Structures are given as C-alpha cells and as structure tokens.
C-alpha cells in the first residue's frame, strides 16, 4: 500500500507584512476511477480532493481538487506574514485519509 508523502517549502523567518512564497507537494498517484486493471476491473477513484493551509488556526488558502489534477499535486501560493505562528497544511483523500505537515514561521 502506498503512503502519501507531503512536503512543504516555506521560509522560517519573515519580516512583518512581508509576502512569503509557500510551495507544497504530496507524492500521491491520484487514481481517477476511470482506468482498468489487468483483469478489466475498474480501479477505484482515490485522489487528494481537498487541500488547506491554516496560519495560526485561520484558513489562508484552500482548494478543491478533481480528477483532472496530475499525480503528485504541486501547489504554490503566497501568504502575508503578520505574526509568528504555525502554518498547518492538510491534504484530504477520498476514503477519509488526511495527511498533514506543520511549519513554524517567526515574524520579526
């Protein structure tokens, strides 16, 4: 069985008011439910269908993903550093799997 591996790249320190770039990637095959295995059986859909980033508990970026997204989805977005706090990243998969990573941002 495959276990998705999430990764995040973001600065650890930022000046107050600075806009920081955040890059995320999760290793996931993103099975669409449209393919068949060698015996002709449909391979069930299993994709990352939701991603969210929380900054000190508040959602600052979220997206719903669908079948057309590529395997190993990569997302890049920007966040304004307002105070020191935790960035929490969560990926939700069909079937209830939730994968997460945390990153602490120090604002000077």
pTM score, whole prediction: 0.89
For residues 29-48, average pLDDT: 90
- Are 86 and 42 within 8 A, CB to CB? no
For residues 31-41, average pLDDT: 90
- What is residue 92's predicted lDDT score, i.e. its pLDDT? 96
Confidence grade of residue 104 (pLDDT, cut at 50, 70, 90): very high
Q: How many alpha carbons fall within 13 Å on the CB side of residue 18?
A: 16
Q: Can you list the domains of the chain with their CATH numbers?
A: 5-107 (2.60.40.10)
Quote the distance between the C-alpha of residue 20 and its chain's center: 17
Task: Give pLDDT tens digits for 39-93.
Answer: 999 998 899 999 999 999 999 999 999 888 889 999 999 999 999 999 999 999 9
């Amino acid at each position: 069985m495959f276990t998705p591996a999430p990764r995040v790249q973001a600065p650890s320190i930022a000046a107050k008011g600075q806009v920081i770039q955040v890059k995320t990637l999760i290793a996931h095959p993103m099975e669409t439910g449209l393919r068949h295995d060698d015996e002709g059986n449909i391979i069930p859909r299993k994709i990352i269908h939701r991603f969210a980033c929380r900054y000190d508990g508040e959602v600052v970026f979220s997206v719903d993903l669908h079948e057309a997204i590529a395997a190993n989805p990569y997302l890049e977005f920007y966040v304004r550093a307002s105070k020191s706090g935790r960035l929490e990243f969560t990926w939700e998969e069909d079937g209830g799997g939730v994968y997460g990573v945390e990153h602490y941002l120090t604002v000077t």
